Structure 1
Amino acid sequence: MKRIIVIIVLILFTKNTFAQNIDQSKVPAVVLNTFQLKFPNAEDVKWKKDKKDYHIHFKVNNKDNKLELNYKGNILEFSQDLYISEIPKTVLETIKTRVDYFDILDADKKEKGKKTTYEIKFKIEGKYHYFWINEKGELLKYRQELKDSEIPSSIRDLIVNRYGRIDIDYSKYVEEGDRIIYIIKGEIKDDDHHFTFDKKANIIKHIHDIKNSEIPSPILKTIASEYKDYEIKDADFIEEKGKTYYYLRMKKSRNQVYITFNQNGKILNSK
């Protein structure tokens, strides 16, 4: 994939940049005691530290578990794989209101604070479905991969009429509360495009991979002044909530920066 993937990778990378593998011998006693008291039969234990928090990956009865503790030993979040027989009936009944038949591929139970969420994944006719349901059986979020023919015609027509014919890589339907969105990813004239639409076919966000030659000259002037000797590695044009801006990744030796510009070359954000 091309430049548009960089943004997704960046989000994942920044979340895990400071998480480092550590040996259990370096874990504070208060943190280690909390873990060992709660999971005395844990196996294949792996520790990571992210700032002041500790992430533990381990197995109990051959099932994967993840636990997050703060430096005081307080539990922040816990998740575990489930057998199908362990999924509550209220959760299964909620799924049945959406699909008649399903063969579960993966099920997880997540606890955060006083909230418990069940995440269920399965596949129907080659397309993945994901459910997030609470312990009461209430649907929190639902995501479904779509066939091209399932994309609303109003969305397909808007893309073609405004941007050109798109070769779709993937499309998704997402429902969360009263909010429904459609996510479309594909190529138009060999450039990557990533669209997010609301249920009325209004564009919420559009990310368009652009060539360096398509970057407005005011932005190039700012770069020449503020980021001399930096090389432009990636560039994207973004439309969001009626506003437009440019997102660039630049590099100089080992230094890498991510800058958001408006079309007049003003720096809106940098990191």
Structure 2
Amino acid sequence: MKKHILLFIVVGAFTATLTNAQDIVQKQVPSVILNKFHSDFPAAKDMEWEMKGTQYQVEFETGWWTEHEVWYSAEGEQVKHEEEITTKDLPNAVKSTVSKQFEGYTIDDAKKITENKKSIYLLDLDSQRQDWEVVIDPSGKVVSQRAD
């Protein structure tokens, strides 16, 4: 009986995962999306496609350690773009906020997230005391923060 319950839980979790996101091969991606993607990111390598609801999501790299996640609508419009960036690519206002409000912390990881043509910066800040995950807008305003 315990084996049946465990099997039921595993199958249920697997099925739930499939309904939320499903890996697909590039041949299954509509040409309007592929054309837009290749136009937007001609240097993309190691693409992995997923279908999430009605959107197509692709994870890929452009160069050493530069990872991206992009979501496209069924019509081929870019809905969201997450990209890893270096600290030197952060706006000066964001760097200034980190140095003033999070003195003694170092930026461990930085992502630029663009959605609806508006960008924010997701930063992982580390120190010996505590780590933070902070979202800052381009003007340097802290949008949210939470301790890790």
Instruction: Identify the TM-score tier after normalising by the shorter chain.
Output: 0.7 to 0.9
Which residue is 2:15 aligned to?
Answer: 120
Residue 246 of structure 1, aligned match among 104, 109, 121: 121
Q: How does 1:175-214 map to 2 (within 5 A)?
A: 175=53, 180-190=54-64, 191-214=66-89
- Aligned equivalents of 1:254 and 1:181: distance in 2? 40
Please list every run of 5 or more consecutive structure 1 residues that lacks an aligned counterpart in the other structure: 1-59, 66-80, 83-105, 110-118, 122-128, 131-140
Which residue is 2:4 aligned to?
Answer: 63
Indicate if the aligned counterparts of 1:159 and 1:165 stay in contact, CA closer than 8 A: no
Kindly provide the CA deviation profile for residues 70-89 of structure 1, in whole angstroms up to 9, marking residues without a partner as x: xxxxxxxxxxx33xxxxxxx
Residue 252 of structure 1, CA deviation: 1.1
Residue 257 of structure 1, CA deviation: 0.6
Secondary structure, aligned partner of 2:42: coil
Larger radius of gyration: 1
Aligned length: 145
Residue 64 of structure 1, CA deviation: 4.4
Cα 1:200–1:249 shift into 2, 3 Å: same
Residue 189 of structure 1, CA deviation: 2.4
Kindly provide the CA deviation profile for residues 21-54 of structure 1, in whole angstroms up to 9, marking residues without a partner as x: xxxxxxxxxxxxxxxxxxxxxxxxxxxxxxxxxx
Secondary structure, aligned partner of 2:27: helix
Query: Which of the two has greater strand per residue?
Result: 1
Which residue is 1:162 aligned to?
Answer: 40
Which residue is 2:136 aligned to?
Answer: 261
Which residue is 1:27 aligned to?
Answer: none
Indicate if the aligned counterparts of 1:148 and 1:168 stay in contact, CA closer than 8 A: no
- Aligned equivalents of 1:227 and 1:195: distance in 2? 30
Query: Which of the two has greater helix per residue?
Result: 2
Which residue is 2:112 aligned to?
Answer: 237
Residue 163 of structure 1, CA deviation: 3.2
- Aligned equivalents of 2:31 and 2:62: distance in 1? 18
Which residue is 1:75 aligned to?
Answer: none
Identify which range, 161-170 or 242-251, moves more after superposition: 161-170
Residue 174 of structure 1, CA deviation: 3.1
Question: Percent identity, aligned pairs only?
Answer: 17
Residue 204 of structure 1, CA deviation: 2.0
TM-score (norm 1): 0.48
Which residue is 1:92 aligned to?
Answer: none
Residue 142 of structure 1, CA deviation: 6.2
Which residue is 2:31 aligned to?
Answer: 153
